Structure 1
Amino acid sequence: MRSVMLVDDEPLIVKGMQAIIDWDQNNMQIAGTACNGLEALAMMDEVPVDLIITDIMMPQMTGLELIRETKARNPYTKFIILSGYEEFKYVREGISLGVENYLLKPVNMDELEATIKHMQRDWEHEEMRQIQMDQSWRILRNNILQRWANETIDAKEFRERAQMLEIPMNKSTYCAASLRIVGDDRGDDPQIYLPGIAEQCEQIGNKGLPDGCGVICFPDQDGDIMLLFVSAGTEGSAEWQLQALNRMKQAVVEDTGARVWGIMGQSESTYLGFPKSCKSVKLWLQNHLFIDCNTFIMQVENEEATNQHQEKPGPAMEQFHKLLRDGEGTEVDRFIDEFFIAEGKEPCLPRTPFFNSAIQLMLAAKELEKTPDYGDIFGPLSRIHTLSKLKQLVRKVVHRTLDTYHTAEKTYSPHIMSVLEVVKNHYQDELSLKTLSQRLELHPNYLGQLFQQEVGTTFSDYVNQYRIERATHLLLYSDKKTAEIAGEVGYWDSTYFYRQFKKYAGVSPTELRSIYMKK
């Protein structure tokens, strides 16, 4: 609501102005009244106003003098002049001072209300421009902070941008932290606007900090809120940082209803060390799975305490293969549930052994499919941060396979059986419907339609899926280079192989190998 001050040396005029206009309906309120310019200025020292409606001729300080003095203090204040003087010199001076309107007494109320509505539209436009400027500033700052954290900005550009964007460069300590936001076990991760959450965290985190200390928050490409803690001294930094991190964590929990984990990195003595601190936080997150029932705040330097547990053995694959072949859905669920039980009281678990085992179980199920789609395995893995979500993914993939595998076995026509046999034995060679149709003495279009009708996918998709299946096994269980694997499965252009693998598996060959880390 906008605030208004009425300034006139005639009390009846002031009272009339207060009563004659419905200020609430115009989203305004009377902040005060004054009988001359000096009194108005004194009041504005205590209560700033958006609009001043003033007379011209008043004792001690005229309305025009009041306007000049107020403009010097706050150039955004707007003015309407009410005067009994129609002399041109007053009108001209009022216009030169940028008043909204010059109205003669007795006031035409329609004209006054029209002037007020015009000002409201101006205010709305100004607010929108300010919001757009603020958003542009934050977008630019977030981009620079992300590049700084990832070390993808050169030193000169960063120094120039940091000064403009108020990123401190002369503090005594720089420490990175992260808030990881994860949905509950029943659904997907919460749909939130990360830049807005980061802005809210920054406001909360900066409340009540010691002198010379501050927090800057920004979202990163992994969906985490990254935090930069800075302080002018080194003593007591850990205490206020953990308190601020806990306040921000709790605020995100209350705002989103999600579970939030806080990870604090190592402190560095200059701004040049901030990327190193960020890396320590992101590496910790990359290497751990959270136990769903507990959220916590942890410092990376205390990580050793979380790793005092034995290496988890892999699943009993022979038993699992038998359960899959027998179609024992209930027993399969029991096997998966028992394997993914968190033993001990650790607040988190090493990610690699659990991810490796999950991939083994899902690939075992995929081996039962004639045209396996690996996109529903590897694509979601990068978004999984808790043990329960990993277990849910394994159960989902395995059950999808069981639902199709144990239905009636599909019987193919002799022509399609011949095509499938050729793909199985010669997938590494150049294959086309034209060549196969000549061998089978069929028209290529007819063979393509027959293949899609019986197999449920196009010939091209089937061949690509088969090749990607073979490539997946080589990537996971051999040390061969990606280019070598591409050639072995029928792709002579490595770039094309990368595109096709990403399309069908949901991740690149490099990303797949980083997900499934060999022991």
Structure 2
Amino acid sequence: MKKVMLVEDEELILQGIRNIVDWEELGLKVVHMAHDGAEALEMWEKEPVQIVVTDISMPEMDGLTLLRKLRDQEEQVRFIILTGYDEFAYAREAVRLDVENYILKPIDEEELIRQLRETVRKLEEMDRKKLTYIDEKTQWMHFLNGKSEKSDGEKFAEMLGLATEGHSYHGAVMKWNLDGLKEKKITNMIVELKKEEHLRIVHLPPDSLLMILDRGRMDEAARSEEQVREYFSELQNQMESRFNIMTFICVGASFQRFEELPEAYRSAKKLQKYLIIEGYGNCISLPQIQNRKTESVRMDETQLRKFILKKEKEAAVDYIEDLFINNIRKDADVSSLYQMAVKMAMLLQDMKKEYKLESGRFHDVSELMETIFSADDIHGIKTAFISEIVEIIECMHEEDSQYTPVVRQIIGEVQKNYREDMNLKTLAHRYHMNASYLGQLFQKEVGCSFAQYLSNTKNGIAKELILNTNMKINEIAKQVGYPDTSYFYRKFKQSYGVSPASMREMKKY
């Protein structure tokens, strides 16, 4: 059943409307009865309806204001206006708001029922069109994804009014940012784009358009690749300025036979990953990215790790901001950005495991990867990493709060001076404590001996240098405080099960 709302400030009339109509016989159900526009709007937001029967002159919020507010939220809701004012201005405004009818009081029961039947018929017709629309989009997606017969190309070309041969075409995909965007704006933009003489469009819900530019007969002067991109770029500027919609356009390969459209579509879709670097408001084509360098975006893992371990939240956040905003060039290949992001995710995962941080508070690697690859822009990735790093630092602060002050000081000493020849006896003397007692206290609170903690710290830093630098193994050994390379090999293998040299061989680029 279709849902109905009745809005009338006079209780007697409101109840009369409710009782003079056999709503069930019309396939309708009255779910709301309100006394003014403000009350009606509140009820509609809790449970929307398909039909609103409303008076115009009411306290708090009049009927036309209510109609305007509901129309902004739902274009398909239908309205029947009841009023005692036979004035042209009201009727004209009602027509502009696309109401079903304008009925004068006292209400003619038969006229109201006739209008309700007509409204139900219109809603059913809209539902049928919607189902046809969905079915048509499903067929399009099957075709574009190469899952339908090749002969279907002729059918789809005919649907768009395009020649199946003898013409040259260019395919492009427009994607828009859905955040805070009303469907009405998209509808208006599509209507405007359909006016372009040589352009055909297919809406691919929820956030994309396939655009096909007919470049004319192949024996005529055809537009160059750059001219095609400039055409779509200018079109983009017009749509964004007119409808305030942020878009990203990818221009795919040209084609002559309509059966080749799916391949052109896929070539354009592949370019959408560059949204993360280019951002909304840009239009790119295949030639623009073909010569991009795949040089990796450089991340100093040792520096980032140091900021986190020293719990320097502000420094860590500033480092991530600078890395993503200032160090990623517009001409970078997007794969280099993803490689760097994956490395960072793995670094954070290793740190969480190494320091046994509470896993329930963090994203696991798969969740972080999903965030990375689904982000629309660099800011989305940057925000995800900043959130994770801040959570790690705060968790470390909480872990520290469980330590006694002397153990906390010793941990800080190790993080700062791990290269030096440190031992528990010397530290115990410095803090005026019994070495045996201090050793027991450290073991109890940290979960391992002081010697093991020092070794883990040295070997963890050595591992980062092995995987992320070209330093020689003996240089790394000295860098982390092992003057004897053989001893370093032995301690490293105890921690990771492989020698430093083997780990370097196994690393993945």
TM-score calculated relative to the size of structure 1: 0.49
TM-score calculated relative to the size of structure 2: 0.49
